[in-house]
């Protein structure tokens, strides 16, 4: 949960709603019920938490503590695939230590957003049975806490990561070798995010190349990766595509993974069409289906 202040070639937005869990949960809620964990300061708008709850997103795991909400200030130049961080005020996030309620412990599909791998591992330690675990990470943790990250990855089924980070994490310069090296760390499925060029899905059996949906104009790429992950994970949960299925029906699992990646690309394409969560918050299920079908039409041969 965060406030973002962001400048892009299309304009700027000051202290607007942001944060992985926000983008992720709204995106995922189109497909499956969602429970979120996070922390906000007393300055965070309660109306937004109510709005999430009205979408049947369980916000009981969002702690409200004394202090200010995490605040990211960043900008994008013409290369919209790369954010430049101008400042990061961790604020209440600095002492965030996710505690799972009994209900959270029974979550079946878990997504570990991009935080300290020590906290990611702590979430998995508290979780009871889970059917599928996906995780995100970034250069900051790859270089800052490589050992801890590798501990987390041992317990992760699916890793979503961008291309540069895949090279950084694996120490390889060749993508195929990088994927093999990451797979050896734990995740059998790796989703490589490529910004405006879409995503690549690597399973032990095949590669899938998904394009981004070509939007007229990218206003703000912030949150694209998180809403991709939300729709991806929501779709997998909706389809009951879990570790068990990966074992017993790998071809069926791969097929659902491909659809999940396309759902992610479609969702992300809405996110980037406005600042903050603005576009996602007014997105209708019908629009999502329409664009998903349009994207399918653009890759059919």
Footprint on this chain of its own copies (rule: CB under 8 A):
174-177, 194, 197-198, 200, 206-209, 211, 214, 216-217, 255, 258-259, 262, 296-301
Q: What is the C-alpha separation between 39 and 27, in angstroms, rounded?
A: 19
Beta carbon of residue 291, minimum distance to its own copies (angstroms, whole number)? 13
Q: What is the C-alpha separation between 57 and 84, in angstroms, rounded?
A: 31
3-state secondary structure (DSSP) of residue 134: strand
Assess contact for 159 and 233: CB atoms under 8 A: no
**Nearer CB in complex with its own copies: 48/194:** 194
**Nearer CB in complex with its own copies: 169/262:** 262
**Nearer CB in complex with its own copies: 81/126:** 81
| Closest to 157 measured CA to CA, from 193, 125, 186 | 186
Assess contact for 43 and 17: CB atoms under 8 A: no
Beta carbon of residue 265, minimum distance to its own copies (angstroms, whole number)? 10
Cβ-based burial of 122 (10 A; exposed 0-12, middle 13-18, buried ≥19): middle
**Nearer CB in complex with its own copies: 152/162:** 162
CA 192 and chain centroid, separation: 12
Residue with tokens 């699916």: 158
Beta carbon of residue 72, minimum distance to its own copies (angstroms, whole number)? 27
How do beta strands 71-75 and 57-64 pair? Answer: unpaired
In the DSSP assignment, the letter for residue 114 is S
**Nearer CB in complex with its own copies: 73/180:** 180
**Nearer CB in complex with its own copies: 213/275:** 213
Beta carbon of residue 183, minimum distance to its own copies (angstroms, whole number)? 16
Beta carbon of residue 179, minimum distance to its own copies (angstroms, whole number)? 10
| Closest to 36 measured CA to CA, from 272, 224, 234 | 234
At 253, phi and psi to the nearest 5? -60, -45
**Nearer CB in complex with its own copies: 46/177:** 177
**Nearer CB in complex with its own copies: 105/177:** 177
The C-alpha torsion from 231 through 233 and 235 to 238, rounded to 10°, is -130
Our CA angle for 139, 145, 149, nearest 5°, is: 85
Beta carbon of residue 266, minimum distance to its own copies (angstroms, whole number)? 12
């Amino acid at each position: 949960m965060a406030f973002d202040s962001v400048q892009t070639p299309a304009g700027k937005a000051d202290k607007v709603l942001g944060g992985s869990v926000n983008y992720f949960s709204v995106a995922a809620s189109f497909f499956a019920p969602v429970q979120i964990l996070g922390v906000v300061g007393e300055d965070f708008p309660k109306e937004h938490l109510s709005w999430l709850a009205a979408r049947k997103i369980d916000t009981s795991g969002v702690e409200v503590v004394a202090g200010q909400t995490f605040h990211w200030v960043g900008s994008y130049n013409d290369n919209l695939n790369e954010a430049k961080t101008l400042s990061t005020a961790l604020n209440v996030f600095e002492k965030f230590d996710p505690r799972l309620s009994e209900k959270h412990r029974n979550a079946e599909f878990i997504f570990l957003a991009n935080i300290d791998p020590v906290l990611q591992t702590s979430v998995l330690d508290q979780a009871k049975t889970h059917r599928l675990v996906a995780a995100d990470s970034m250069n900051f943790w790859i270089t800052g806490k490589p050992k801890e990250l590798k501990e987390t990855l041992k317990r992760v089924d699916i890793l979503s990561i961008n291309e540069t980070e895949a090279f950084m994490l694996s120490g390889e310069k060749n993508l195929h070798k990088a994927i093999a090296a990451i797979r050896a760390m734990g995740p059998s499925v790796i989703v490589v995010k490529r910004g405006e060029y879409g995503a690549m899905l690597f399973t032990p059996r095949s590669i899938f190349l998904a394009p981004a949906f070509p939007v007229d104009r990218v206003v703000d790429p912030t949150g694209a990766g998180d809403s991709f992950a939300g729709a991806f994970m929501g779709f997998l949960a909706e389809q009951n595509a879990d570790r068990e299925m990966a074992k017993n029906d790998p071809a069926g699992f791969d097929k659902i993974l491909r659809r999940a990646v396309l759902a992610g690309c479609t969702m992300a394409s809405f996110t980037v069409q406005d600042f903050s969560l603005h576009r996602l918050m007014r997105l209708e299920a019908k629009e999502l289906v329409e664009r998903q079908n349009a994207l399918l039409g653009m890759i059919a041969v």
